Amino acid sequence: MTSFAILGLTFAIVILSRFLLPQVQRTIRKWKAVLYIGCREPPRYHHKDPLGRDLFRRTIEAYKEHKFLDFTERLFQEHGNTFKTITEGKVLIKTRDPEVSKAVYTTFFDKFGLQPIRYEGGKGFFGDGILVTDGAQWKRSRTLIRPAFDIAHIANFNRLDRHVSRFLEILPQDGSTIDLLPLFKRLTLDLSSEFIFGKAMDALSSPESCKEFITAFTTAQRGVVMKPAAREKNWEASCQLVTKYVDDRVEEAIERASSAQKMSGGSAKYVRLVDELVKATQDRRALRYQVLSVFSPAHDTVAVTLGNLFFHLARNPLAWDRLRQELLPTAHHHRQCLETCILPCGGGADGKRPLLVEKGNIVETNFRLMQRGKSYWGEDAEEFRPERWENIRPTWEYTPFSGGPRICPAFKLVYTECEYIAAAMLREFSGLENRDSELAWIEERRLIFQSKNGTLVGLRR
């Protein structure tokens, strides 16, 4: 045998072992899953492009037209509760089935992760923070953050009362039209900055003083969910401005700890989240990214939730009146498969058969549509009808903070702030009127979706 023949044979063996053998192994796994366990393939989106660029282009167009959420809902209506697509050549399983979500986030938690999806896009802003990592790094972050939240969350009603009172004072007294969404954002920026750093940014009383920070923060958040080429030119500069602010606050916390000053002064209202984190570590880089991982959702989540709530209440005066009647007498996700596994459902045309998910496949849970499933919520699932909550006790049908080990550590804080602020406004104002000529809610993409037109209302005392 000549040297060329040997070389050719060697090359052929390499090709077989590198490309064909894994394919054969996958095929064998699939047949075993079908024959012995009863797995079935879910419905498929019929791509025109083998890499999935056709669906990607449709998705981008839907984003540009502010119709992504409606576009996604139509896909599920056409293909069922769980179906397969291709994105950038990878298998993407889309689902709105609560049982599939439960399996991914709890039963098979260790077999799925988000770091392969989020880390590259988010590391420029979140670094190695809890929002973009898996495994040992995530566990270290969780161990650092969760106890700090449990301590710092205690006795924060004084902080809430002070900032909400200031917020109510700046609302118009004459019923004139106002956009509540930016005001909610200024309020929650003050709340979150004082909760985390011990000093509010005074966005309510001095909006101009933190206008540059808010703009940079918005740009940084928006860029995290974009591909690098699509980001705004000032994205890196915006990230640097935000991280500089956080770094300065972290340095102050380390100085307080090193000088052995008392941080609470005997009163829980002075407890700072960053001080609790410093008790566990003084690694400045780690502290920066963990604080950013908390600060980012803490700022937007409550504000957007309240904006959406009052958007709908302004269009449903009967719901507003009933809430006031009840209140006055008393004084809120992708996972990449890290290890091949079989989910108990999601396969077959009806989604009831076991589903084989191979390593590298991505499972995308659509929480918005899962929380609007007519099989659980009723035929009027799309209607704003708060009364439905009187007779239901949802589990995985309603998971605004995700579930399982990765449930948001701040969910109690978010619930408390949303309830407190909403209750304060219901007590303060007897009437709420819609002042937006557009009745429909139009999406605007940020780290989370918000109302493109804000929350234009008139308030009556």
Report how far residue 399's alpha carbon sits from residue 46's, in angstroms, rounded to the nearest whole number: 30
260 close to 222: Cβ distance less than 8 angstroms? no
Q: Per-residue pLDDT averaged across 320-337, rounded? A: 69
Work out the end-to-end distance of the chain between its first and last CA atoms, rounded to an integer number of angstroms: 96
Report residue 234 as tokens: 């000032």
Report how far residue 267's alpha carbon sits from residue 49's, in angstroms, rounded to the nearest whole number: 62
For residues 219, 221, 225, 227, the Cα torsion angle rounded to the nearest 10 degrees is 40
Domains and CATH numbers, the chain: 27-126+333-399 (no CATH), 127-332+400-460 (1.10.630.10)
pLDDT surpassing 90 at residue 74: yes
- Residues written for the chain: 461
Report how far residue 136's alpha carbon sits from residue 155's, in angstroms, rounded to the nearest whole number: 32
What does the pLDDT look like over 429-438, one tens digit per residue?
Answer: 888 899 998 8
The chain-wide mean pLDDT, for the chain, equals: 80
* Residues contacting residue 348 through CB under 8 Å, at least 6 positions apart: 40, 41, 42
Lowest mean pLDDT among 71-75, 211-215, 244-248, 255-259: 255-259
Percent above pLDDT 70 for the chain: 83
Report how far residue 147's alpha carbon sits from residue 290's, in angstroms, rounded to the nearest whole number: 13
> 437 vs 227, 313, 367, 453, 454, CA distance in Å?
34, 15, 29, 10, 12
Report how far residue 302's alpha carbon sits from residue 312's, in angstroms, rounded to the nearest whole number: 16
156 close to 437: Cβ distance less than 8 angstroms? no
Question: Residue type for 218, please?
Answer: T
Query: Could you tell me which of 82, 63, 146, 161 has the C-alpha nearest to residue 449?
Result: 63
DSSP class per residue in 330-392: G---EEEESS-EEEEEEESTTS-EEEEE-TT-EEEE-HHHHTT-HHHH-TTTTS--GGGGGS-
The residue among 72 and 325 whose pLDDT is bigger is 72
Report residue 448 as tokens: 């989370």
What does the pLDDT look like over 245-301, one tens digit per residue?
Answer: 999 999 988 888 887 555 444 444 467 788 888 888 888 888 888 888 888 777 778
For residues 275, 301, 180, 172, the Cα torsion angle rounded to the nearest 10 degrees is -30
Helix axes of 284-313 and 135-152: crossing angle, nearest 10 degrees: 70
Report how far residue 369's alpha carbon sits from residue 213's, in angstroms, rounded to the nearest whole number: 34
245 close to 210: Cβ distance less than 8 angstroms? no
Which one of 19-33, 333-347, 373-387 scores highest in mean pLDDT? 373-387
User: What is the pTM for the complete model shown?
Assistant: 0.77
For residue 273, how many C-alpha atoms fall within 13 Å in the half-sphere facing its CB? 28
What does the pLDDT look like over 291-327, one tens digit per residue?
Answer: 888 887 777 788 888 999 999 999 988 888 888 887 7
pLDDT at position 329, please?
63
339 close to 111: Cβ distance less than 8 angstroms? yes
pLDDT at position 28, please?
58
The residue among 316 and 399 whose pLDDT is bigger is 316
Give the largest Cα separation in the chain, rounded. Answer: 96
- Chain centroid to CA 28: 37
